[in-house]
Amino acid sequence: MRICVFGAGAIGGNFATRLATAGNDVSVVARGAHLEVIRRHGLTLLVGDRKIVVPVRASDRPADLGPQDVVLVTLKACGQTALAAAIGPLLGAETSVVFVQNGIPWWYGHGLSSARPPAPDLSRLDPDGALARSVGLERTIGAVVTSSNHVVEPGVVRNISPDRNTLWVGEIDDRESGRIAALRATLKAAGIASPETRDIRYDIWHKLMANLTGSTLCLLLAQPTTIQKTPMINRLARRAHGEALATAAAHGVLLDDNPDVRYGPKRVYPDHRPSILQDYELGRPMEIEAIVRAPLAFARGAGVDTPTLDTIESLCVSLAVSKGLYTL
């Protein structure tokens, strides 16, 4: 399969390396020092004691790479507006575009079942509808990722969750399709788990629970995920989690989840700094809109009372704005 990974950073570099190793024709869109190293030495993935190096075509100009079967967009939600103007040369008549991101995606309200309440205004996730126009809803595939990685140095990615690399994929109207089946098979052959799902929005909200109710607290306290097991922070996370579950339920997504399980005594907390905290510390644009503000728009639209999440939102937004990493 001809696959372009648009944004070959931590997650993108991991997946690009695995897909190329499995025999796919993989290219990447990258920039800066990362791009130069990939061009000279290929992509390097560190997994435990293993070192995997693969040559891939790489450019900061999509026109150099040509039409693809699949484009995996691994840009963060706050960086996707740049995609709209650049993705054209990668698109052929049958190209699928898979949005791999955290939080509420720009396409959430499109293809939504009539049995569910309409989504709130999510226009800040796709200003002026640029992504919908440039990509096309017919090409768009939803995705949810679970994989912990970081860029060790330009061209080198360490996968710190060797047994937990999963990408759920689904049509935005949840129909079964041949392209989804083919994509899942390709991912699995590359060592990337891809379970079947008949409700991609369920998976979006399930992943969002960790980011909205746990990662945000790590941001506010400038601490890794281990802080969530301390008694006072654990109680706060449970209250936030209960509010988030009620919000999802009000929009027709009934999660098989429970604050007492997710934040219970059997939970193992890795010593990991969530991406939203990493972005803040490194001065990179932050996914405040997709991870924090959009979910709260769902709550307000449904009249769900979320005092804990409201406080978390106010503090996260204030931190990001004060550092110039988010614009109101």
Nearest to 168 by CA among 149, 145, 147: 145
Cα 160 to chain center, whole Å? 17
pLDDT at 239: 96
- Tell me how crowded residue 23 is: count the other CB atoms within 10 A of its CB: 11
HEC letters along 78-103: HHCHHHHHHCHHHEEEEEEEEEECCC
What residues are annotated to the active site? Answer: 207
Using an 8 Å Cβ cutoff, are 10 and 149 in contact?
yes
- Cβ burial of 110 (10 Å; 0-12, 13-18, 19+) is middle
Nearest to 84 by CA among 135, 127, 123, 30: 135
Please report, for the chain, the start and end positions of each structural domain, with discontinuous segments joined by +.
Answer: 2-198, 203-322
How far is Cα 145 from Cα 122, in angstroms, rounded to an integer? Answer: 21
pLDDT at 269: 86
Using an 8 Å Cβ cutoff, are 255 and 248 in contact?
yes
pLDDT at 162: 85
- Tokens 């049958």 -> residue: 94
How far is Cα 312 from Cα 239, in angstroms, rounded to an integer? Answer: 11
Q: What is the edge-to-edge ordering of all strands in the sheet holding 43-47?
A: 50-54, 43-47, 156-159, 149-153
pLDDT at 272: 85
pLDDT at 266: 86
pLDDT at 163: 85
* Kind of pairing between the strands at 43-47 and 91-100: unpaired
pLDDT at 156: 96
Which positions ≥6 away from 172 have C-beta within 8 Å? 107, 110, 111, 137, 140, 141, 142, 200
The CA–CA distances, whole Å, from 27 to 72, 221, 311, 315 equal: 10, 38, 42, 39
Structure tokens at 295: 């979910």
pLDDT at 127: 94
List the pLDDT tens digit at each of the 328 positions of the chain.
999 999 989 999 999 999 999 999 999 999 999 999 999 999 999 999 999 999 999 999 999 999 999 999 999 999 998 899 999 999 999 999 999 999 999 999 999 999 999 999 999 999 999 999 999 999 999 999 999 888 999 999 999 888 889 999 999 999 999 999 999 999 999 999 999 999 999 999 999 999 999 999 999 999 999 999 999 999 999 999 999 999 999 999 999 998 888 999 888 888 888 999 999 999 999 999 999 999 999 999 999 999 999 999 999 999 999 999 999 9
CA atoms lying within 13 Å on the CB side of residue 155: 18
How far is Cα 26 from Cα 5, in angstroms, rounded to an integer? Answer: 7
Q: Domain 203-322 - what CATH class?
A: mainly alpha
Architecture of the domain defined by 2-198: 3-Layer(aba) Sandwich (3.40)
